[in-house]
Amino acid sequence: MEWETVIGLEIHAQLATRSKIFSGSATAYGAAPNTQANLVDLGYPGVLPVLNVEAVRMAIRFGLATGARIARRSVFARKNYFYPDLPKGYQISQYERPVVEDGSLEIVLDDGTRKSIGITRAHLEEDAGKSLHEDFHGLSGIDLNRAGTPLLEIVSEPDLRSAKEAVAYMKKIHTLVRYLGICDGNMQEGSFRCDANVSVRPQGQPEFGTRAEIKNLNSFRFVERAINYEVERQIELVESGGKVVQETRLYDPDRGETRPMRSKEEANDYRYFPDPDLLPLAIDDAMIESARAGLPELPDEKAARFVRDFGLSDYDAGVLTSSRELADYYETVVGRLGGQPKLAANWVMGELSGALNKDNLEVAQSRVGAESLAGLLARIADDTISGKIAKDVFEAMWTEGRDADAIIEAQGLRQITDTSAIERAIDEVMTGNPRQLAEYRAGKDKLFGFFVGQVMKATQGKANPAQLNELLKRKLGG
Q: Which residues bind other proteins (CB under 8 A)?
A: 17-19, 23-26, 32-39, 42-56, 73, 75-76, 78, 80, 82-84, 87-90, 131-133, 136, 138-144, 250, 261-263, 269, 271-274, 276-282
Residues sharing a CB contact under 8 Å with residue 9, sequence separation 6 or more, in sequence order: 154, 155, 156, 160, 166, 169, 170, 194, 195, 196, 197
CB of 263 to other proteins, least distance (A): 5
Please say which residue, 50 or 410, places its beta carbon nearer to other proteins: 50
**Least distance CB 62 / other proteins (angstroms):** 16
Question: Which residues make Cβ contacts (< 8 Å) with residue 73, sequence separation at least 6?
Answer: 97, 280, 281, 282, 283
Q: Given its phi and psi angles, is residue 323 left (phi above 0), alpha (psi -120 to 50 degrees) or beta?
A: beta
- If 0-12 CB within 10 Å is exposed, 13-18 middle and 19+ buried, where does residue 42 land? middle
Look at residue 252 and give its three-state secondary structure.
strand
Q: Minimum distance between the CB of residue 259 and other proteins, rounded to whole angstroms?
A: 10
- Least separation in angstroms between residue 176's CB and other proteins is 21
Looking at this protein, which amino acid is placed at residue 355? Answer: A
Q: Which is nearer to other proteins, 136 or 188 (CB)?
A: 136
Nearer to other proteins, 84 or 339 (CB): 84
Q: For other proteins, give the closer residue by CB, 143 or 213.
A: 143
Is the CB of 38 or the CB of 162 nearer to other proteins? Answer: 38
Dist CA 187 CA 221 (whole Å) = 12
Whichever of 176 and 281 has its CB closer to other proteins, that residue is: 281
| Shortest spacing between CB 275 and other proteins, in angstroms | 8
Residues with Cβ within 8 Å of 77's Cβ and at least 6 positions away in sequence, in order, are 92, 93, 94, 95, 96, 272, 273, 274, 275
Q: Are strands 114-126 and 150-156 parallel, antiparallel or unpaired?
A: antiparallel
- Mapping DSSP to helix (H, G, I), strand (E, B) and coil, where does residue 172 land? helix
Residue 45 vs 449, nearer CB to other proteins: 45
CB 37, CB 144: distance < 8 Å:
yes
Quote the CA–CA distance of 221 and 172 in Å, as a whole number: 15
Q: Cα–Cα distance between 13 and 21 in angstroms, integer?
A: 13
Closest distance of CB 57 from other proteins, Å: 9
Rounded to a whole number of angstroms, the minimum distance from the CB of residue 231 to other proteins is 23
